[in-house]
Amino acid sequence: MDQQVKSALHGAWAGFCNGNKATGSSDVAVKAWVESLEKIFASDKPFLDKVEDMDAAFEALRDFMFDLLMINFFASDAQKLEEDYLDSQEWEEIEDETIDRGTELLNLFLYLKECKEEDIEPSLEDFLKEFLLVEEDEFQDEHLIYEDIIANELLVDTDMQEMARVSAGIKETSAVKDIFYPFMAFFSDNRYSEELFSSFVKFSENKAYDAALLASLYAYYEGLPVFSKSFLTCLD
């Protein structure tokens, strides 16, 4: 299992636990979920079998966990297969079968992986213009998908309350509706701080889900040590 993905997986569930506590509830079987998912991610089963096992295990964060499973496949599983596997008919069929799975955060994880490898400081402008190439004519599909984020780029220079307010107004039909708030929060400051995270959770309408996504991004990019021991308690 890829270590960055493992950190992201742990970060996601620690965030979910802390976000859940902020709603006044703490009855979450986080440790058991993480252990179960680690086994699924690390197994040598074919990718679609892993997806099936993951779906059978739980519902919480289902689409987002697919993002991490996919990233783990690229970073770990694919390295054990033939060099041109991602150009094969088999992989094309897998993509067709899973085309409706996951979230648009998959692209952000791929971008952060590239940033780490090339020592680039992540920024929303770089992500949109240099990674997704949204200004290029041949990438207008990406422009359409991310249009709500493109239209609100300046939000990264505001506070969490304003981000949450704008997020609430994003149409339900938007491809980025479910990720908008944590996505913008990460680009407002890609270095975790307890103060920022607390403010983020305070203004979230879906605290456990949003906290899981943002914590996962920080964990993937910076590693689990950025969090306090108390934040990670539910993983012990």
User: Which residues of the chain are under the pLDDT cut of 50?
Assistant: none
CA angle 155, 159, 163 (to 5 degrees): 50
What per-residue confidence (pLDDT) applies to 58? 73
In a 10 Å sphere around its CB, with 0-12 CB exposed, 13-18 middle and 19+ buried, how is residue 1 labelled? middle
Q: Using CA of residue 109, residue 111, residue 113, residue 119, what is the dihedral sign?
A: negative
CA angle 225, 58, 103 (to 5 degrees): 70
What is the pTM (predicted TM-score) of this model? 0.95
Do residues 134 and 142 make contact, with C-beta atoms less than 8 angstroms apart?
A: yes
For residue 142, what are its two tokens?
């990406």
What per-residue confidence (pLDDT) applies to 26? 66
CA 103 to chain centre: 8
CA atoms within 13 A on the CB side of 114: 13
* End-to-end CA gap in the chain: 20
Residue 232, Cβ neighbours under 10 Å: how many?
A: 19
Do residues 128 and 146 make contact, with C-beta atoms less than 8 angstroms apart?
A: yes
Give the list of residues 6+ apart from residue 131 with CB closer than 8 angstroms, or none. Answer: 107, 110, 111, 114
What pLDDT digit, counting tens, does each position of 69-86 carry?
A: 999 999 999 888 888 899
In a 10 Å sphere around its CB, with 0-12 CB exposed, 13-18 middle and 19+ buried, how is residue 214 labelled? buried
Euclidean distance between CA atoms 214 and 185, whole angstroms: 8
What per-residue confidence (pLDDT) applies to 27? 63
Chain position carrying tokens 């680690």: 38
